[in-house]
Structure 1
């Protein structure tokens, strides 16, 4: 489940960053909307594809 949460958080951050930049002039054009959508999809794909760091071994 953590793998999905990490990807969702990355997608939200990428989309938000893209939309904040797009809203600088008060409107979002079609091209800016497509850019935001692509940023979300790229963040989802890249973050989901990269495995989490394995947990260190525990000592007894």
Structure 2
């Protein structure tokens, strides 16, 4: 992925191209992680096996 992002880049910019590719990948991952959790179903706790104490 990084090497394909650096193809066709001028030799003077060859050091910056992979850094830019990695930065875009990290931003994309952060955006993906921030948008998916709200779409997931809520997690519920299973009922406990202990009975609740009786109220006096």
TM-score by length of 2: 0.45
TM-score by length of 1: 0.43
Higher helix proportion, which one? 1
Larger Rg: 2
Larger relative contact order, structure 1 or 2 (CA cutoff 8 Å, min sep 6): 1
